[in-house]
Structure 1
Amino acid sequence: MLQKYDAASEVTDLDASDSSEKSPHPLSLFEFWPGSVFYTPIVLYWIAMGIRYGDFSVPSAANPRIETGGLCGESKSGILDMAGSIAKSWIAPYVVMDLSRTQREQDVERCLSLMKEHDLSFPVVLKPDIGCNGTGVKLVPYREALPGTLAQFPGGVKILIQDLIDKPVEAGLFYIREPDAPRGHITSITYKEAPLLHGDGKSTIEELIRNDLRTSLLPEIYLPRLRTRLQEIPPLGKEVQLVFAGNHCKGSIFRDGRADATDALTQRLDMILRDVPDFHFGRIDVKAASIAALRAGEDFQIIEINGVGSEATHIWDRRTTLWEAYRAQFYHYHQAFKIGAANRARGWKTCGALTMLRHWRKQRRLLASYPLND
């Protein structure tokens, strides 16, 4: 589960001191701008960098063993499968399954067989092998929920079945290491929290959402996910968690945690990611026992490794200014071009703009076919 965010009190369990630094508004200026608006300057920056380096796909060489460098359309399991024995010991157990195109009734037994073979037990998380922004991520708490959940995915797609890591802190760690550099550095840490409402014994879940300071501004995100429970009246004090997947655009709350980028955590990521061949740039999503454990580089597990297409997601903290967000975006994409160019000079090939476009179109088509995430 995500760390819980108390939407009613605007005080986060992750850092109680944040309550003394309340923003005058529960959302930042740009937090939910349309992508076509927010990302236009970033697209223009990418074009300028592509002209400068003579190839719009230079960042694909930043992680040259990953399809498109992890920009779009890459296989999540393909990245995790690259891990050596050291890195694998830090990755949450998973198995990959191809859903049948024609014999969907056999998917459940095949899934159970794969889980048994790889020593996985409920609860598990199902996620598309090709996807982004948490689209299609589903929690399966027990065996009886498996048939209905599998049936929501289209036939013929590949999914990951991953152990649900029962650690309270979820974080995204952005890591960059230049080719041949002995050490990398952490450029972003983001803590992810689940919005939480409290029942008053009188209001329905829909009314609680519409009356809350933050969630009332984003009903289109929360109401569809709880459509079967909207008229439920939670008892007084009962917690209602609004989202499972730790993605900002799907409703999770993001907090800037860059102050926790310790030397111990950096050394741990160096050890792990040097065991993922030629990985230089991307975000590692983890579950940790506590923030103190994360700072010490201990007691966490990796749930995903993302490449060039990942963001330094601390920019979605409501306290971040628009200028700070763009500065972070431009810095990271400049680093992607810089590292890609360095690898190109060492003999690695870029994927080419047409291949990027083909993978993007494939990913977009698949995203449209996935079920609504939990």
Structure 2
Amino acid sequence: MLFNVEKAIIQRITDWHNWPFYLFYFPLGYAWVWYYIKTRSLWFFTASNPTLTFGGFEGEAKSEMYTQLPSELYPKSIFISPALPFADVTPQLLRAGIRYPFVVKPDVGMKGLLFRKIVNEQQLKTYHSAMPATYIIQEFIDMPCEVSVFYCRKPANCKGSITAFIEKKLLEVTGNGSSTLEALISNNAEAKEFLSTIKKQHAKDLQTVLPAGETFCISHIANLYNGARFVDLTSEVNDTLHQIFDTISHQTQFLYGRYDIKCQSVEDMLQGKNFIILEFNGAGSVPNHIHAGKYNLPQAYKEILKHWKAMYEISRDNCKNGIPYWGFLKGYRFLQNSKRYFNKLKQLDKELDLNVR
């Protein structure tokens, strides 16, 4: 028993994928200091994406992204103020052509906080009454494949580069015709880590017996914090994919960051068809291919440093072209406000139980 405990502790310490944020990034702090010295700005990254607040590092609104994209490239979306009477929400849904089920999420969010799949009016009413800030109602994109594309382009260049392309595998279990959902989750190694959260979210479904071969999606949020698994497909990037994101980058002036995308298949994405952009994330984007199993810790750090260098060079060039870095006080106050806001969302995310996600 003691041996198993020691083994679990050692495994947790050596599994750098799940280290706390500050522990993981502490050894790379020297690079941030170096860029600060070179630019004389702690917030040098704010010039990397001129059309996103704070360069898209943190606290940017998704509405900023969507207004820059052609409407056919992102899901039908409406933005709802918490001050809006709930009776006025349904007419907006009808006008936008959004039907149940759909997803809701904060306009300014992170890490899947308060992302929910809504299946009926009562759930929407509960969500609306709890939300302290503007949120998005968005059509549910029922495509089987989710991918991420990391893109960088210097402002003077016509063409950029795709530095990473991954497929995200959602946390799912498959039925065998005899086991309950609770048993399937308990016996799934990837799901065990999230067991207490899962049981709360899916309490009404836990005793359901899944037919053999039927899959149950435990979480529709495709990030590490919700059990998603990443597959590195960077070697498959082709000219078509480069052309797609070069075109989008010139339309939006989005020069550095990660696109999260739903598509019918990886093959379709590589051919530039049947895909929808869920969102794009700027200077705060993590090159998630480091979590796809091919990289040890030194290699992961090397990838991060490579991306930070690209971000610095893009910001530097934009600054030379008249786009200033944020001043210290402006950036500090923005981060403090963001911290308070996200702490409120984190607490609400724990409390708001709609029994679906």
TM-score by length of 1: 0.82
> Where do 1:236-255 residues align within 5 Å?
237=212, 238-255=214-231
**Is contact 1:64-1:350 (8 Å) kept?**
no
Q: Aligned partner of 1:186: which letter?
A: I
Q: Say if 2:72 is the partner of 1:89.
A: yes
Q: Say if 2:106 is the partner of 1:128.
A: yes
**Is contact 1:64-1:349 (8 Å) kept?**
no
**Is contact 1:173-1:283 (8 Å) kept?**
yes
Q: Say if 2:95 is the partner of 1:117.
A: yes
Q: Say if 2:25 is the partner of 1:50.
A: no
CA distance in 2, matches of 1:242, 1:56: 40
Cα shift readout 1:182-205 (whole Å, capped 9, x = no counterpart): 111111112111122234566554
Shift of 1:249: 1.5
Q: Match of 1:279? A: 254
Cα shift readout 1:233-287 (whole Å, capped 9, x = no counterpart): 52453533221111221222222121232110110111122111x2211111111
Q: Match of 2:234? A: 258
**Is contact 2:171-2:190 (8 Å) kept?**
no
1:149 to 105, 110, 127: 127
Distance 1:302 1:27, change over 3 A: farther
2:154 to 168, 178, 187: 178
- In the alignment, structure 1 segments of 5+ residues that lack a partner are 1-24
Shift of 1:26: 12
Q: Say if 2:50 is the partner of 1:64.
A: yes
**Is contact 1:184-1:270 (8 Å) kept?**
yes
- In the alignment, structure 2 segments of 5+ residues that lack a partner are 1-10, 351-355
**Is contact 1:72-1:356 (8 Å) kept?**
no
Count the aligned residue pairs.
Answer: 338
CA distance in 1, matches of 2:205, 2:73: 39
**Is contact 1:171-1:192 (8 Å) kept?**
yes
Q: Say if 2:134 is the partner of 1:158.
A: yes
* DSSP-derived class of the 2:257 partner: strand
Q: Aligned partner of 2:75: which letter?
A: A
2:298 to 308, 323, 345: 323
Cα shift readout 1:108-140 (whole Å, capped 9, x = no counterpart): x22222222222222221110111111111111
Q: Aligned partner of 1:169: which letter?
A: C
Q: Aligned partner of 2:305: which letter?
A: F
Q: Match of 1:196? A: 172
Q: Say if 2:270 is the partner of 1:298.
A: no
Judge which range, 308-317 or 196-205, deviates more.
Answer: 196-205
Distance 1:364 1:205, change over 3 A: farther
Distance 1:91 1:311, change over 3 A: same
Shift of 1:175: 0.8
CA RMSD of aligned residues (A): 2.5
Q: Aligned partner of 1:49: which letter?
A: Y
Cα shift readout 1:140-185 (whole Å, capped 9, x = no counterpart): 134443213323423xx01111111121111111111101201111
**Is contact 1:61-1:350 (8 Å) kept?**
yes
Distance 1:357 1:207, change over 3 A: farther
Aligned identity (percent) is: 25
TM-score by length of 2: 0.86
Shift of 1:48: 2.6
Cα shift readout 1:305-332 (whole Å, capped 9, x = no counterpart): 2111111111121343212221111111
Cα shift readout 1:187-226 (whole Å, capped 9, x = no counterpart): 1112111122234566554443333233234535544433
Distance 1:76 1:27, change over 3 A: farther
CA distance in 1, matches of 2:22, 2:182: 29
